[in-house]
Amino acid sequence: MGYLIHDYYAGVVFEDITERKKAENNLKQSNKKLLQFKTVFENANVGIAFAQLNGKLIYVNSYFAKIHGYSVEELAGKHLSMFHSAEQMEWVNKLLSQLIDKGAFYPEEVLHYHRDGTTFPMLMTGMLLKNEEGMPEYLTTTAIDITDYKLAKAESKKMYEQLHQAQKLEAIGTLAGGIAHDFNNILSPIIGYTEMLSDEIPEGSPLRSSLNEIYAASMRAKDMVRQILTFARQEKSEVKLIKMQHIVKEALKLIRSTVPSTIEIKQDIRKECGLINADPTQIHQIVMNLATNAYHAMEETGGTMTISLKEVELNPKFNEQDLIGQDIQKGIYVCLTVADTGVGIPEDIKDKIFDPFFTTKKRDKGTGLGLSSIHGIVTGCGGAIRVDSKIGKGSEFNIYLPVAESYLKQEELLQVKIPSVEGGSEQILLVDDEPVLIKLQKNMLERLGYQVISRTSSIEALEAFRANPDKFDVVITDMAMPNMSGDKLSLELIKIRPDIPILLCTGFSTIISEEKALSMGIKGFLMKPVTVSDLDKKIRDVIKQNKLKE
């Protein structure tokens, strides 16, 4: 116990001050806690506001004032309505009524007005404060600016969609590669037997022209497979001097077979257009993508698709300022035009149509990569693009590709002839698990003078080679073999005899490429379908290279 002694005129008074000390101590502790709460209140990274039940602000913390563009002093006595539009206030009043009735409202996303007139998203919560009698007296709200969160969420969603598109394309590419592999096995005997029949038919026979047509059609099919493999990332682009006329015409045949009769197709393909440096497969891709877009623009209403090809002279500095491209030079260009009478492109998205993954089509209509791929191909060729479109009137895409300086005769490019072969007498070990293909290739090689031992099993082929490794001059093996793949067989053969020339053939593979095959010691790499001339040329090349090393 504590006592305080008072001296009143020589009298002595004792006073117990224990309770008073406790009260003083409690007051100090309360003031200390109050100071701590005030510090937290002022420095919180969340907006806090106290208001009367009618919405008039009593006090706000610094964060609340700052995110709205005001000082704490400026908001004292103001009404919550200053942060909302007239349309929003009806909803805000309902929220306040809910607060008074239920004592709280839980996170709600609300648009607040900033001092500069702009709006931003807020995440709000509210709680009712009652007096000693338990009657509602004040309300308090917390507010968080979620602008950055929403932006991050939108960016995350966009990244997820792009990842989804990439995964979908990867799956399509794998499927396309598998189809290409099977199609190659169908094409190989067509090409092979056509070449062999050509050797048996006299030069002046009327059947020879028919065989040339079969061969030409097979070569076009082979190019189509190349296009699939390019999409599946199994084949590199092959840039060479080409005339666009026959590529556009071939594409038009495919387009006509897929476009309904409600859409009329007009064409104007000029013969006098010069040569360009490009990959034929990529040019075919441009025509097909643009035509497909035109078809989708007219799918519901019908209309007219116009495809033209002509030679033009460009002077970007004076009359072609709306071209989409980089460093376009003055000169002669081949202009491919694909126009439609469809719905047209809105002005507000014209600048986005070449962005990767941007599309206005439904999920089953496109990936958003068509126009971006076209843009990449065209700029890679040194060309440019012009787009003209009006809502309800249609769209017109002009693709400008520079004409090469050197020219070849049209007949040399359009006429496809069965090439001649050299042949030889070397001993060949031929390995393929497809009986039809191994029979065909064995027949082809023997007709050229080669001695052929064939096996449909990699294990059997390895045993035959191990029994007499010096017997063979060349080994030709397919990549997709059961039990032991072609690349693994090749490694085993090289262990036995490091100098053996090996040709690896594949229609589609995700694990082997020409670069990888060559790095393993495989001397040659061929993509199916393999023609007689391709196979013979490769055999002669690897044999000559081997002799030079001896």
pLDDT beyond 60 at 190: yes
Q: What is the mean pLDDT of residues 96-112?
A: 77
Please report which confidence band the pLDDT of residue 125 belongs to, taking 50, 70 and 90 as the band edges.
confident
Name the domain count of the chain.
4
- Boundary-marking domain end, from 418, 438, 463: 418
Q: What is the per-residue DSSP string for 341-370? A: -SS---GGGGGGTTSTT---S-TTT--S-H
More confident residue, 26 or 321: 26
Q: Are residues 382 and 452 in the same domain?
A: no
Asked if the structure places residue 222 within a domain, the reply is: no
So what's the pLDDT on residue 289?
86
Q: Are residues 404 and 310 in the same domain?
A: yes
Q: Are residues 31 and 80 in the same domain?
A: no
Asked if the structure places residue 169 within a domain, the reply is: no
CATH of the domain at 61: 3.30.450.20
So what's the pLDDT on residue 322?
61
Contact 280, 244 (CB under 8 A): no
pLDDT beyond 80 at 70: yes
Residues 352-381 have pLDDT tens digits of 676 654 455 554 444 445 577 788 788 888
- What does the alpha-carbon distance between residue 501 and residue 506 come to, in Å, rounded to a whole number? 17
- Boundary-marking domain end, from 103, 120, 145: 145
So what's the pLDDT on residue 53?
83
Nearest CA-CA partner of 337 in 379, 405, 286:
286
Please report which confidence band the pLDDT of residue 242 belongs to, taking 50, 70 and 90 as the band edges.
confident
Q: Are residues 404 and 464 in the same domain?
A: no
What's the first-to-final CA gap in the chain, in angstroms? Answer: 114
Asked if the structure places residue 173 within a domain, the reply is: no
So what's the pLDDT on residue 119?
86
Per residue, the 3-state secondary structure of 388-457, as one string, reads EEECCCEEEEEEEEEECCCCCCHHHHHCCCCCCCCCCCCEEEEECCCHHHHHHHHHHHHHCCCEEEEECC
More confident residue, 195 or 321: 195
Asked if the structure places residue 196 within a domain, the reply is: no
Q: Cα–chain-centroid distance for residue 405?
A: 34
Please report which confidence band the pLDDT of residue 19 belongs to, taking 50, 70 and 90 as the band edges.
low
So what's the pLDDT on residue 163?
64
- Boundary-marking domain end, from 113, 145, 177: 145
So what's the pLDDT on residue 408?
40
So what's the pLDDT on residue 428?
94
Q: Are residues 514 and 459 in the same domain?
A: yes
Q: Are residues 35 and 135 in the same domain?
A: no
pLDDT beyond 90 at 82: no
Residues 21-60 have pLDDT tens digits of 666 666 666 566 556 666 666 777 788 888 888 888 888 8
Q: Are residues 458 and 502 in the same domain?
A: yes
Q: Are residues 498 and 372 in the same domain?
A: no
Which range marks the domain in which residue 23 is found? 1-43
Asked if the structure places residue 82 within a domain, the reply is: yes
So what's the pLDDT on residue 488?
93
Helix/strand/coil for 506:
strand
Q: What is the mean pLDDT of residues 289-306?
A: 89
Residues 468-515 have pLDDT tens digits of 999 999 999 998 888 899 999 999 999 999 999 999 988 766 677 788
Residues 437-462 have pLDDT tens digits of 888 889 888 988 999 999 999 999 99
- What does the alpha-carbon distance between residue 300 and residue 302 come to, in Å, rounded to a whole number? 6
Asked if the structure places residue 373 within a domain, the reply is: yes
Helix/strand/coil for 113:
strand
Asked if the structure places residue 521 within a domain, the reply is: yes
Using a pLDDT cut of 70, give the percent of the chain over it: 73
* Two structure tokens written together for 112: 């607040």
More confident residue, 197 or 414: 197
Q: Are residues 433 and 388 in the same domain?
A: no
pLDDT beyond 80 at 300: yes
Q: Are residues 362 and 398 in the same domain?
A: yes
Nearest 10 degrees: Cα torsion 172, 173, 175, 180: 140
CATH of the domain at 335: 3.30.565.10
So what's the pLDDT on residue 460?
94
Asked if the structure places residue 444 within a domain, the reply is: yes
Contact 305, 263 (CB under 8 A): yes
Q: Are residues 276 and 356 in the same domain?
A: yes
So what's the pLDDT on residue 340?
93
Residues 333-347 have pLDDT tens digits of 999 999 999 988 877
Count of positions (residues) in the chain: 550
Q: What is the rounded average pLDDT for all residues in the chain?
A: 78
Q: Are residues 431 and 328 in the same domain?
A: no
Contact 330, 318 (CB under 8 A): no
So what's the pLDDT on residue 413?
42
Using a pLDDT cut of 90, give the percent of the chain over it: 17
